[in-house]
Every structure is written in C-alpha cells, then in structure tokens.
Chains A and B, each alone.
Chain A
Amino acid sequence: MKKLTSSMLYLDDVSVAFDGFKAINSLSLVLEPGEMRAIIGPNGAGKTTMMDIITGKTRPDRGSVYFDGDVDLTRFDESAIATMGIGRKFQKPTVFESHSVEDNILLSMSGDQTISSLLFGRKSIGEKQRIDEILATIRLDGLRHEQAENLSHGQKQWLEIGMLLAQNPKLLLIDEPVAGMTDAETVETARLLREIAKTHAVIVVEHDMDFVRDLDVKVTCLHEGSVLAEGPLEHVSANEEVIDVYLGR
C-alpha cells in the first residue's frame, strides 16, 4: 500500500476549541522519520493540546493527523496509539510511585498485554537484558530496587523517559523534560535525548532555551495555536514576532 506521506508525523490544518477558546488554530506540522524537533512557545500556545491530539486524548474539531505515513490518528484512542508506537512523557513526571524502578520499566515493556499472559507470564531473559540496557541508558541502574516515590524529581523525569524507551516507540513526545532539574541534570538530559534521537523520532516541548540550544535541532515556535516560526534556533530566535510574543527583548 502506498503511503500518503513519507513523514513520521503529519498534521495539517488542525483546529480544536474548548468552549469557544481556540486552543489549536489551523496548525500544520511535519516531522520526518528519525528527526528530533524542539517546540517552544509561550504558555497557552497549544503545545500540550497538540500532544493531546497526537496521542488521542483530544479529538480535533477539524484537520488531519497522520502517523507513520498513512495512519489516521484521529480514529484511535490513547491505548491504540500508544501500541502503534507513540510514547508520551507528561509535563508532570508520572511514574508508578509504589513500584520499584525496575518494575516501572518492566510494566512499560511492549509485548503481549492480555490479562492471562500478564497473570501467568514470567520475566524472560530478553526482558531482563532490555531492562538492564534501559536502566544503564537513563543512569538509574544503581536504584533499580528503589521505590519510584523515593526518587528525586529529575530522576523521575529520567525514569519516565526510560519507560517510554521500554515501550519501544517510533515517536517520542516529551513534554518539558528538564522542568525542575538542576543544571547538571539538564545537561545530562540533553545528552540522553540526543542519544535517543539516534534511533527514534522525537518531539520535545521545552521552555529552557539553553537546553534547546544544547539539543541543536530544528525548532518550531507555537503561538495561539498555530506555527509562528520554524527553522534552526538562530533563525527562529531572530524572528521579530517570536521575540515579541515569547522571548522578549
């Protein structure tokens, strides 16, 4: 079957309104396979709502959303979209607080999710290796038996990214990964994301401009639900409108 587009993610003319307030207004965005994209923009620009639309949490009033070329995402719900290979990290780190770090990763593994296999299945050797790999990637291997609720804020952010990796997605949506992190953690996170971007398509929403600069990828600036500017960071940050609504002088 011929694919509609060659892109990983394709949003065209998407709009959604809440009680008359247009959260997303005729938004178009294309992400190529393997690309990492940073999204910036002031509060209320529609960044999180855009993620809600991609992950099936919110249905757009209008417009088309295609994943992996030809999958119409507006027709699926969150679980189905996640299974297709879109992982999402929330703005507020959301991990399973009463489970150990290791179990958090284990539960995030893609695989047979029927009740019976969950009840009777045992951890396979392959899964153990994969957990070790991921814990090494997110630098939490020393804390694998620690309960997630005891982790620091930054460590929870990493754990959540690790959970996304375990999910083995094609596309990762990462909402404000360095909010509340120390400078050292921020640098470490940028490195982690660049590493992940080698094998996955990634969209990162972030306010921290140093971090965005660190990522060194194409930047899209949203404002009032549509794209204000797009391109390399220097190009976007030189844009008069972007300076007016977001960066300030």
Chain B
Amino acid sequence: MNTGFIRTIGRVNFIAILIILALAVAVPYGNLVAPPTSLVYVPDYMVALLGKFLTYAMLAVSLNLVWGYGGILSLGHGAFFALGGYVMGMYLMRQIGDRGVYSNPILPDFMVFLNWKELPWFWWGFDQFWFAALMIVLVPGLLAFVFGWFAFRSRVSGVYLSIITQAMTYALLLAFFRNDMGFGGNNGLTDFKDILGFNLQSQETRATLFALSAVFLAGFLLLVAWITTSRYGKLLVATRDAESRTRFLGYRPERVKLFVWTLSAMMAGIAGALYVPQIGIINPGEFAPANSIEVVIWAAVGGRGTILGPVVGAFLVNGGKSWFTGLFPEFWLFVLGALFVLTTLYLPKGIIGTVKGFWQARNARKQSQKDADVPKDTSRPATVEAPAE
C-alpha cells in the first residue's frame, strides 16, 4: 500500500481501519473456532452485542458525514436507518415462505391475520435479494433526496432543519404504527428464518453478519476519509463554515449539501439493513425521534468532524448503556442527559477531536522549540478572534 494513500487518510485512521478489519476475522474466530476455555473465546451474546454496536457505529459515521463535515444537524437519521432495516425486514419476511404460523407461501403472517388477500404492490420483488439490496440504498436515498431537495433549495438550515428532520421521522413513526400501511403495524416485522438460505439462528450466520458489518464499517470510514480529503470535502466544510461565501464564489451549496445528505442517508440505510438480521426484529419504535437524537450524542462524544470520532462514541456510549442499564436501569437517562449537557459544554470537539487538538498543540510546541534557534518569523500574526455573528 503506498504511503501517499496512508498520508491522505491519516495514519491513525488507517490503523483503526486495519483494527476493525482484524476484528472481522478475530471475533468470528474467537466465537466459532476457539474453545470456550480459551482466552480469545468470544461468547455468542458478545458477538450479537458487538455486531449491534458496529451497525450503530455505521449510523454514527453516516450522521457525522452530514453534521461534522456538512454542518447539517439531522435529528432524523434514525429514519433512514429504520427504512433500510424495514427493507431488509421485508426481504427476510418473504424468505419465511410457507413456514409462517399461517403457512401462506406468499403473504407474511400479519397480512393473513389482517385478512389481506394479495401482496400489496410495494412488497413485490422483495423475494429477490438483489432487489432488496438495491432498495436498501434507494429507499432512504430517495426520501433523503426529495426531502433535501425541498429543504436545501429554500435555504432551510440550522435549528429549522434539525426540527424538520425530527418531524420527518416523527411522521414516519406515526405512519408505520398503522396496520394499513402494510408493514406489520406496531409489531413490525419479525420471526425471520433465514437470509440467502442461511439459517439466521445459526452461530455461523451470525458471525458472518458480524464480519460483514465490520467490513462495511471499515469501508464507510475509507469512504468518509476519501470524501473529506477531496476538493468536494473541502467545499463541504467551506459550506458549513461560510455558506454565503461559497454561493458568491459561484457554487451551489444546496447541491453540495444534497449530495452528502443523500449519500449519508444511503449509508444509514445499509447500517439499518445489517442491524435487522442481527437483532431479529424491526418495528416502528426505531423511528422514535429520541433514537435519532441519541445517535447525535454518539458522534458528539467521540468527536464530530473527525473520521474515527463517531465509531469511538458509538461504542463508548452504547457500551456504557449496556453496562448501566444492567446495573442501575433507572439512572441511565440521568447519565445520558448529563452526557448531552457535559459534552456540549466541556467537550465540544469530542474525545478524538480533543486528543487531536492536544496532539497538534504538542507537535506545534516541539516545532517552535526547534525553530527557537532560527530567527523568528515576526510577520506571523497574532491570533484574532473572529467577530461574533
């Protein structure tokens, strides 16, 4: 691998991506091959838990792309995640075939229960994996495109946009709770049997899904690293910091945003699609606005606008949640609330951002010590605070 590539995406990021790829091999090995007495043995529940975290991390990475780099605070990214999950759920429902409670070869159980006679048109094609795979990115992508086209065109931004995205996921939550929407109402889609012919209950399939999630997460990180170092990525950050400047330079910020917004929604969709087979259920609760806001805190804790921040944040916050809800379930909301408050007040750059800041400051100090011998560049300006808005 050439060093130019490593330098472009950053050495630390590169190592992290390698670690994630190593996990894709190590965890399935530890689960399937290593004996339970071994040090590297990974119990089944741990595979499921870590697999879930990986998909959460993917969701956080996709959110970070629009929020950290594009300045678009989405409070509705859970909607894209859930849509991807529902698409996957529809495929898995069709795979059940006649093994359902009502043994109907075409109709999923809930449709039989609701006395539906035939498959609604929007369920057509989901028995084919390639079609479902396409829809996993197309459905969230299309929703994001239409929504973003309207929103960015009319220059809706800041808190307006945030609340409207929240309203979007809220509307979907209400819609998916309805039985006549044809997505299983408040029970959602569940009782999946197999995926591409592999039994979803078998540990081999689960380990494979884990590995797949890790590979996708690594791919996402590479994608984000590549995008943010491209000229487009620089323009995206420029749009975040001074949108009107880009407009007066002849750019169309609405297109810049629409691209990253749609791409991010597709990534969230993929995350959701990998989440559902590992969890075994998708229901309208995934659309709850509170879920989407929680994703924001993952990215914030880890460090928005950094490549690895959202991954670190997703693992830390969710790890903390698992641990805490096990010990003191009634206190978790206090902790989560405090996390929101403290992170925004004292750790606005997040863990990775702060560490990076220290690191750069240290390097700068070293550099200036080196420079101490040579005559100082007196033209170097004092730092001037940007005037407040």
Contact = CB atoms under 8 A, between A and B. Distances in A.
A147 to B, nearest CB: 10
B11 interface: no
B381 A155 contact: yes
B207 interface: no
- Central interface residue in B234, B379, B383, by most chain A CB within 10 Å: B234
Contact of B250 (A82, A151, A153, A155): A82
Given A82-B249, A99-B238, A115-B256, A106 B231 contact: yes
B231 A121 contact: yes
Contacts of A110: 250
Contacts of A123: 231
B134 interface: no
Interface string B363-389: 000000000000001011111101100
Interface stretch (A2-10, A29-37, A87-95, A191-199): A87-95
A137 to B, nearest CB: 17
B230 interface: yes
Given A115-B259, A149-B386, A78 B247 contact: yes
A239 interface: no
Contacts of B383: 149-150
Contacts of B230: 118-120
A85 to B, nearest CB: 9
Contact of A94 (B242, B252, B382): B242
Given A107-B231, A118-B231, A142-B377, A98 B248 contact: no
Contacts of B256: 115
Contacts of A94: 242, 244-245
A59 B247 CA distance: 16
Contact of A88 (B241, B248, B387): B248
Contacts of A155: 381
A163 interface: yes
Contact of A107 (B248, B249, B379, B386): B249
Nearest to A163: B249
**Chain B, interface residues (CB within 8 Å), range:** 20 to 34
B384 A118 contact: no
A188 to B, nearest CB: 13
Contacts of A119: 227, 230-232
B44 to A, nearest CB: 41
B251 interface: yes
B384 A108 contact: no
Interface string A109-153: 010010100111101000000000000000000110000011111
Contacts of A99: 234, 237-238
B136 interface: no
B255 interface: yes
Nearest to A121: B231
Given A103-B234, A107-B238, A142 B249 contact: no
B296 to A, nearest CB: 20
Nearest to B231: A118
Contacts of B227: 119
Contacts of A153: 384
B249 A108 contact: yes
A142 B379 contact: yes
A1 to B, nearest CB: 23
23 contacts: A78-B247, A79-B247, A87-B248, A87-B249, A96-B234, A96-B237, A96-B242, A97-B386, A107-B246, A115-B259, A118-B231, A118-B235, A119-B230, A119-B231, A119-B232, A121-B231, A123-B231, A143-B380, A149-B383, A151-B381, A151-B384, A156-B384, A163-B249
Given A115-B232, A149-B386, 10 more contacts: A79-B252, A82-B249, A90-B248, A94-B245, A99-B237, A107-B238, A115-B259, A118-B230, A118-B231, A152-B382
